[in-house]
Amino acid sequence: MILALFDFDGTITTRETMPDFVRAAVPRARLRLWGALLAPWVLGYKAGLVSGSNIRGKIARCGFRGMPEAEYRAAGERFAREVLPTVLRPEAVARIAWHKARGDTVVVVSGGFDVYLSHWCRAQDIELICSKLEIEDGVLTGRFDGAQCVLGEKARRVRERYVLRTFSAVHAYGDTAEDAELLALADESWFREWPEA
């Protein structure tokens, strides 16, 4: 059996979905306020001066701190149902189906939030390793629950959950430099391309 590891944003989807989720889940007044304050950080990120982890941490803190858990979870379920199906890459969906038809273990390994990815992965009957936001007493703190599932943390979590040598092969799919450590786990990896079925 093969272990098939898929990055989500930009690999399974046509674009990053976390900004879409933030816009869908965070109240507009709060978005306007924090959007203006975070604008220099976002520009720094786009210019390569601010890391993705840093900007995601700031967005989580500003956007979600104090949000009721029930509101957050409802937004995640709605986003998975209404938005994610509109941004899927047909070639990625086909490759996932190919692995599943062979009986392979398919895992999404993403820096995105569990609150929407869990719904999508459950509907596809595939496994998930991803980032989570911390919740205390029914309210989001604005902090990540553990490390963000990016860069080397992706590979660390895969090795923590799966004994790689028990699989006949590991396949991995990614689209950015943040996927390098994940792709390095694989016997066969694809970066911004899809193999012939």
Over residues 43-101, the pLDDT tens digits come to 888 888 888 888 899 989 989 999 999 999 999 999 999 999 999 999 999 999 999 99
- 196 inside domain: no
- 197 inside domain: no
Burial of 5 (0-12, 13-18, 19+ CB in 10 A): buried
Q: For the chain, how many residues are written?
A: 197
What is the reported pLDDT for 197? 59
Range of the domain at 115: 2-191
The structural domain count of the chain equals 1
Both tokens of residue 46? Answer: 């786009």
- 135 inside domain: yes
- 14 inside domain: yes
- 54 inside domain: yes
pLDDT at 38 > cutoff 90? no
- 73 inside domain: yes
pTM for this predicted structure: 0.93
- 140 inside domain: yes
- 32 inside domain: yes
Task: Please tell me whether residue 197 adopts helix, strand or coil conformation.
Answer: coil
What is the reported pLDDT for 120? 98
CATH number assigned to the domain comprising residue 182: 3.40.50.1000
